[in-house]
Amino acid sequence: MKKDFKTLQILVVDDNPLILMSIFRFFKKIALVKAVSTAEEALDAINEHHYDLCFLDVNLPGMTGLDAMKIMNDLSPNTKVAIMTANLLNEAMKKQVDNYAYTFIEKPFTLSDLKGVVERVKVALNH
């Protein structure tokens, strides 16, 4: 089963180095993973390469994750975006997540929570 994950392309976007590297290390054995710390770097990565899944933090320096999510949707509509945040979302933010995100992940989370998202994306891609 691990062999199936090798083709999965994951982009991780978080300005917290501990979270960024934890997610990167957790998935690098089962997927091709790129880790960046800003929304701008994420958009550059999306322009250069297709990603099946993007774990995207809301609170980033510069452009927010929510703004980046909307642009990602235009640049790469097949990329599934998992929005991550520890903060409460206001109604406008919730609507953006509902309209553009594949799923919402509340921080703190476990790596097993993220693995469940990856497994759902992999199943969706195989259908």
Question: pLDDT tens digits, residue range 41-64?
Answer: 999 999 999 999 999 999 999 999
Quickly name the fold that domain 6-117 has.
Answer: Rossmann fold (3.40.50)
In tens, the pLDDT along 2-29 reads 444 447 999 999 999 999 999 999 999 9
Query: What are the residue boundaries of the structural domains of the chain, listed by start?
Result: 6-117
In tens, the pLDDT along 66-79 reads 999 999 999 999 99
| DSSP codes joined into one string, 32-80 | EEEEESSHHHHHHHHHHS--SEEEEES--SSS-HHHHHHHHHHH-TTSE
Is this model's pTM higher than 0.95 or not?
no
